[in-house]
Amino acid sequence: MNKKMNLLIFSGEYDKALAALILANTGREMGMDVTLFFTFWGLMLVRDPDKLTLEDKTLFEQMFGLVTPQGVEDLPLSKMNLAGLGKKMLLEMMEDDKTPSLTDFLNGARKKGVKFYGCKLSVEVMGFKEEELLPEVEIITAQQYLEDAIDSQIQLFI
């Protein structure tokens, strides 16, 4: 049976998302089963930037949808963001080293068969519709997350 890695993605930040997706891609390349469970701010990683809707949402949900990052390239750094300056610097350094972008790692994970789960409670509270998320994302409960995590050799909270 394959080894399993389960990453709970709580943070909606560019650098932590990079770390998570590099691990996810590497795990799949090594033949591991990899699960990403997106909850709270982590859901920002799996919003489809072209599918924002305001329909059938409360006013707070509409505002929340508009002021939060839409799509991974829009995520801030967890530190040294400096109104985007630090992030620009990191992106330049990544480009200099010909490192793939966060979008590349995200698309790599989608193509390689990483499992994408969204947290039911978070999606409901934040008012996201399933059709606003990437098509790979399946909505599951905290219980389903734990059932998956308990059978994994590696679990991390990111």
Name the site residues for its own copies (rule: CB under 8 A). 3, 5, 8, 10-13, 15-16, 18-19, 22-23, 26-27, 29-30, 32, 39-41, 58, 60-61, 63-64, 67-68, 78-80, 89-90, 92-94, 96-97, 99, 121, 124-127, 141-143, 146-147, 149-150, 153-158
**Residue number, 5 or 133, with CB nearest to its own copies:** 5
What minimum distance in Å lies between the beta carbon of 119 and its own copies? 9
All residues at 6 or more sequence positions from 124 whose CB lies less than 8 Å from its CB, including other chains: none
Q: Which is nearer to its own copies, 45 or 135 (CB)?
A: 45
Look at residues 76, 66, 73 and name the one whose alpha carbon lies nearest to residue 127: 66
Which C-beta is closer to its own copies: that of 41 or that of 116? 41
The structure tokens 């770390």 sit at 19
Q: Judged by CB, which is closer to its own copies: 39, or 70?
A: 39
The least CB distance from residue 68 to its own copies, in Å, is 8
Residues with Cβ within 8 Å of residue 15, at least 6 apart in sequence: 77, 78, 90
Token duo for residue 54? 């305001």
What minimum distance in Å lies between the beta carbon of 158 and its own copies?
Answer: 5
Strand order in the sheet with 115-119: 138-140, 115-119, 33-38, 4-9, 154-157
* Least gap, CB of 51 to its own copies (angstroms): 20
Number of alpha carbons in the 13 Å side-chain half-sphere of residue 99:
13
Beta partners for residue 158, in sequence order: none
For its own copies, give the closer residue by CB, 99 or 107: 99
